[in-house]
């Protein structure tokens, strides 16, 4: 691989070239030279594009792999293409596959696939056997096998004793426990946010309290582990969606508790009022909340309470979505639109969005920061933050077409990525 980016704006606060428009030469996966009017790279390709921008590669903390077991919805090849189209060089895969990712061999399946690929798969291991919350997996073995984190993925860890003991075990190896905060007995048969709109539509609601009770409980358990056992376990809440949740985590951080959290970009784009269309592509868990909750999420993102934006990419096939609303499955296929959704609807500013895709999620995982500097390994996302584009089925890479964005115009176009000595571009012409 030999690439020369011409007149690219470098967006990386950790780089000495931050906000400068320069040429960047990448050879054999390493950034060799950064400067003005660099000579043409021998036997290489030049990338020129209006608004060309480079940032450290983006990392997504929450992706449903579906493969193995549900390859009709997504396989690893289509997942890789979707990640490239979304600008992600690294993605954390949830363990809710068939079989569940709870052994060294299952983690190796993902790692072997991505070793020679442009997208790095970071498999999270199941916290409990079968992700059913009843018994522990071999967490220490999974740690040595390279588990990126430990989670029951789309399922909450409902058993308080299991969660507390897991925090104690994982503290010994600095492992990250990712919790999806939901009290399942309060969400049974729920379809959307419990409120005025659900009443008007005649749909069973999912109360905000179902999320907030678990966060309240788990923060108390985390505090107990810290104070009683003198441990520093790391707890991460995924997909917070209410203002009360954000406030509780904000207060816990102020007390010094080792807690982080994320939310999905699409929670900034839709409210429960949008479900009057009965579009099953808007059926997600947790559900879309009222506009006041979006304001609280935005405040949490801006003040650093929320550490990352994720895709919560959840591909479904047509048979799972083309149904009556109450029968349809939850989830949005969202890898390809996450950045543009955040930029278009978030009102956060470009630098904050990039921070939530680069330095902050890597800090959550405890990974080494990525930067754009001479001699550094090239882990880059290439994009035009100003370009507007219309989401169309013709350009869609994921097998899952369950997106509410088809036909919508978004701001911020991903052009490609560079990672692991390889590169893939979809929306830019390569020249010599």
Which residue numbers are catalytic?
Answer: 312
Buried b (16+ CB within 10 A) or exposed e, 175-204: bbbbbbbbbeebbeebbbbbbebbeeeebe
Q: How far is 120 from 117, CA to CA, in rounded Å?
A: 7
- Whole-angstrom distance, CA of residue 240 vs CA of residue 249: 10
139 vs 429: CA distance, rounded Å: 46
Dump the DSSP string for 398-409. Answer: SS----TTTT-E
3 state DSSP class of 69: coil
SS3 387: strand
Rounded Cα–Cα distance for residues 237 and 260 (Å):
6
CA distance 316 to 281: 10
Task: Report the sign of the C-alpha dihedral through residues 324, 328, 332, 333, in that order.
Answer: negative
The answer for residues whose C-beta is within 8 angstroms of residue 7's C-beta and 6 or more apart is 21, 22, 23, 48, 52
CA distance 258 to 207: 27
- Written in H, E and C, the secondary structure of 84-120 is HHHCEEEEEECCCCCCCCCCHHHHHHHHHHHCCCCCE
What 8-state DSSP symbol labels residue 289? -
Going by their DSSP bridges, the two strands 30-35 and 45-47 should be labelled as unpaired
What distance, in Å, lies between the first and last C-alpha atoms of the chain?
A: 13
From CA 338, how far away is CA 349, in angstroms rounded? 15
Give the whole-angstrom CA distance, residue 268 versus residue 18: 28
């Amino acid at each position: 691989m030999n690439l020369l980016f011409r007149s690219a704006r470098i967006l990386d606060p950790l780089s000495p070239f931050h906000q400068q428009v320069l040429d960047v030469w990448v050879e054999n996966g390493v950034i060799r030279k950064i400067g003005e009017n660099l000579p043409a790279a021998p036997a290489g390709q030049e990338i020129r594009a209006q608004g060309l921008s480079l940032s450290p590669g983006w990392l997504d903390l929450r992706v449903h792999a579906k493969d193995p077991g549900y390859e009709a919805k997504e396989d690893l090849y289509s997942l890789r293409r979707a990640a490239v189209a979304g600008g992600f060089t690294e993605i954390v895969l949830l363990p809710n596959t068939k079989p569940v990712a709870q052994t060294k061999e299952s983690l190796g399946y993902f790692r072997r696939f991505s070793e020679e690929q442009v997208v790095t798969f970071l498999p999270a291991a199941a916290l409990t056997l079968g992700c059913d919350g009843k018994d522990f997996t071999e967490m220490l073995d999974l740690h040595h096998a390279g588990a990126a984190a430990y989670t029951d993925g789309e399922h909450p860890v409902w058993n308080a004793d299991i969660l507390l003991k897991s925090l104690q075990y994982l503290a010994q190896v600095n492992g990250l426990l990712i919790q999806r905060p939901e009290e399942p007995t309060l969400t049974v048969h729920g379809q959307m946010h419990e409120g005025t709109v659900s009443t008007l539509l005649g749909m069973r609601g999912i109360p905000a309290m179902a999320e907030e009770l678990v966060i309240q409980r788990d923060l108390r358990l985390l505090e107990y582990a810290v104070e009683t056992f003198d441990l520093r376990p790391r707890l991460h809440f995924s997909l917070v969606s209410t203002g009360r949740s954000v406030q509780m985590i904000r207060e816990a951080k102020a007390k010094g508790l080792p807690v982080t959290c994320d939310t999905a970009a699409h929670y900034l784009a839709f409210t429960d009022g949008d479900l009057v269309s009965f579009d099953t592509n808007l059926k997600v868990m947790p559900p879309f909340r009222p506009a006041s909750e979006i304001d609280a999420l935005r405040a949490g993102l801006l003040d650093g309470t929320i550490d990352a934006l994720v895709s919560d990419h959840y591909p479904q096939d047509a048979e799972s979505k083309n149904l009556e609303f109450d029968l349809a499955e939850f989830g949005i296929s969202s890898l390809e639109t996450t950045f543009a959704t955040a930029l278009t609807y978030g009102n956060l500013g470009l630098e904050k969005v990039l921070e939530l895709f680069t330095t902050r999620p890597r800090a959550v995982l405890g990974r080494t920061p990525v930067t754009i500097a001479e001699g550094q390994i090239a882990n880059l996302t290439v994009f035009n933050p100003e370009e507007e584009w219309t989401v169309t089925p013709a350009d869609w890479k994921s097998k899952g077409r369950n997106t509410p964005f088809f036909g919508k115009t978004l701001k911020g176009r991903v052009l490609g990525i560079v990672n692991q000595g390889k590169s893939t571009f979809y929306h830019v012409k390569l020249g010599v």
